[in-house]
Chains A and B, each alone.
Chain A
Amino acid sequence: MTNLTHLSMAEALEGLRSKQFTATELTEAYVKAVEAARPLNAFITETPEIALRQAKAADERYAAGKALPLDGMPLGIKDLFCTEGVLTTAASHILDGFHPPYESTVTSNLFRDGAVMLGKLNLDEFAMGSANITSHYGPVLNPWTGKDPANAPRKLVPGGSSGGSAASVSGRFAIAATGTDTGGSIRQPASFVGIVGLKPTYGRCSRWGIVAFASSLDQAGPMTRTVKDAALMLQSMAGFDPKDSTSVDMPVPDFAAALTGDIRGLRVGIPREYRVDGMPAEVERVWQQGIEWLKAAGAVPVEISLPHTKYALPTYYIVAPAECSSNLARYDGVRFGLRVEGKDLKDMYENTRAAGFGKEVRRRILIGTYVLSAGYYDAYYLKAQKVRARIAEDFTKAYEQCDVILTPTAPSTAFAIGEKQDDPIAMYLNDVFTVPASLAGLPGISVPAGLANDGLPLGLQLLGRPFDEETLLRVAGVLEQAAGPQPLPPYVG
């Protein structure tokens, strides 16, 4: 029999519909793969009993001819999504023992459509990080090690914050996974492990029940092995939700139907500001290759300018910490999670939060508190919101000249655990190509574009107009086709 864990979601659905194997067989294969992958530390909580129960129900529906759109698909769920009765940690000590009494809208939607949950995936604490090294539960390892023999003993990061999601999909121990993206947390890890990562337009997927980091930026999306799978999974995740005040009430198109392969005449913007100083030649080479692929398919490259690009990261590092300092005020040791006693109430708050938050989270809360504090609000927060408006305006103008934008996803391939750890700003630079679209709320997708010289995956990023995930997926499909079959990571062998 074919190796069940190597099938894409579309292939697995076809196999189930044509009764080549059962959902229980598929889930059992994944449960074993999850156990075998423990050294990569991608899961915080494994839920094999839930998975097998859901698979059994899927099999009954297949037998009755009533299969659902994602029936029997064994997914990993980023541990930022609240799952009813199942430990939800956000990879933070402060959420110790938290078993949500409710289910997030996105996971509800996935389960409504038959998805199976293998467990809860590791991430950077509260999704704050680009290497999955800030988790209270320890770092996640990348299934890729690269050609450099020095890399073999060194352990590479899977990117972040959705590092467990990225590792599990690339390492063939989840058929797909949910991610969330605030400044690049779906797209950058997808690039680091050679999978597809789609951040939809802000408002497309409900934020309800997702542990909040920066509410004006957070957005859930699929992390998959193929573009088609991303379309199928987004179909279930997306949709209006009255419980999220910024959820957008508009129809969800048939995303898979957008994969026509026809991009003739489409104008592809190439932003000149994304040629940053010190960018490795390999990243430049893959970008050029992407341009050639799209040209060969009949698209028309157009040079565009996004003049405020260099201000996106500093803007982000005011806006996101400000929102995080406000969102994370709820962790006080009273209603849920960790509680460390003190001599009075205030002391209990301060002790709880000192023990519960890791260093990066503490740093961001303090920055956020500072930029929102009396006397500094206008100079920092208000200024950043104005620059954010400029950045968004850049994109609006660019889309007068082009239909979609092509850039590299990240400025490098995966690096080793321990690198860039002393300097927060060096770590923040990982998101230089992903943050601008996040600030503007635009959809973006990272598509694997082969391996760099060092034997590690590199992704290409496409950015679209608001709510035009269809064009994004169509162009992504063409890139995927042109790039050809992608090699498996050494972990899979």
Chain B
Amino acid sequence: MSVDKATLDAKTVAKIAHLARIKVPEEDQAGLAQELNKILDWVEQLNEVDTDGVAPMTSVAAQTLRRRDDVVSDGGYPDKVVKNATDAAEHFFSVPKVVE
């Protein structure tokens, strides 16, 4: 768009995939770049629309977020919370070691 016309290469795909935390095998990267470029080329047509002075629409709900009292309204059932975890011990979620 107004930035340099985006053409994704395999390297950029690898970078986005890493940002999205999805492993994309190297042999898939070039093909995926092509697919994504097609979609990005197609959305380029939005540049034809004059949006000067238009406020971005972030929600269709014509309301501001409701407020409520800052009180505990839910909870107290750790068994339920960890029930679906592959690896849960004593109401904790376990993950591979992060700090050496």
A residues near B (Cβ < 8 Å) are 97-101, 202-203, 216, 242, 245-246, 248-249, 308, 310-311, 314-315, 317-318, 325, 329, 332-337, 339, 341-351, 353-354, 357, 362-363, 365-367, 369-370, 373, 375-376, 378-380, 382-390, 392, 424-425, 439-441
Contacts and interface: CB of A to CB of B under 8 A. Distances in A.
Contacts of B47: 383
Contacts of B43: 314, 317-318, 380, 384
A314 B36 contact: no
B83 interface: yes
Given A99-B84, A425-B39, A353 B23 contact: yes
Nearest to A315: B46
Contacts of B66: 242, 245, 249
Given A99-B84, A311-B49, A353 B22 contact: yes
Given A353-B22, A363-B35, A366-B22, A379 B2 contact: yes
Given A344-B98, A353-B20, A376-B3, A370 B85 contact: no
The 10 closest A-B CB pairs, nearest first, are A441-B60, A385-B56, A336-B84, A379-B1, A386-B51, A354-B23, A350-B23, A101-B80, A389-B57, A339-B86
Interface string B60-72: 1101011010000
Nearest to B66: A245
Given A248-B63, A348-B96, A333 B86 contact: yes
A345 B95 contact: yes
A389 B59 CA distance: 10
B56 A366 contact: no
A392 B54 CA distance: 12
A449 B57 CA distance: 34
B30 interface: no
A202 B60 contact: yes
A245 B68 CA distance: 11
B90 interface: no
B89 interface: no
B84 A385 contact: no
B18 to A, nearest CB: 8
Interface of B: 1-3, 6, 8, 12-13, 16-24, 32, 35-36, 38-40, 42-43, 45-49, 51, 54-61, 63, 65-66, 68, 77, 80-87, 93, 95-98
Contacts of A325: 20
A386 B56 contact: yes
Contacts, number: 168
B39 to A, nearest CB: 6
B46 A370 contact: no
Given A246-B61, A354-B22, A362-B22, A383 B51 contact: yes
B95 A348 contact: yes
Contact of B39 (A311, A344, A367): A367
B54 to A, nearest CB: 4
Contacts of B80: 101
Contacts of A334: 85, 93, 95
B54 A216 contact: no
Contacts of A373: 16, 19
B49 to A, nearest CB: 5
A178 B33 CA distance: 36
Contacts of A333: 86
A365 B51 contact: no
A382 B56 contact: yes
Given A365-B20, A380-B43, A97 B84 contact: yes
B41 to A, nearest CB: 10
A392 B6 CA distance: 28
A229 to B, nearest CB: 27
Nearest to B44: A314
B96 A344 contact: yes
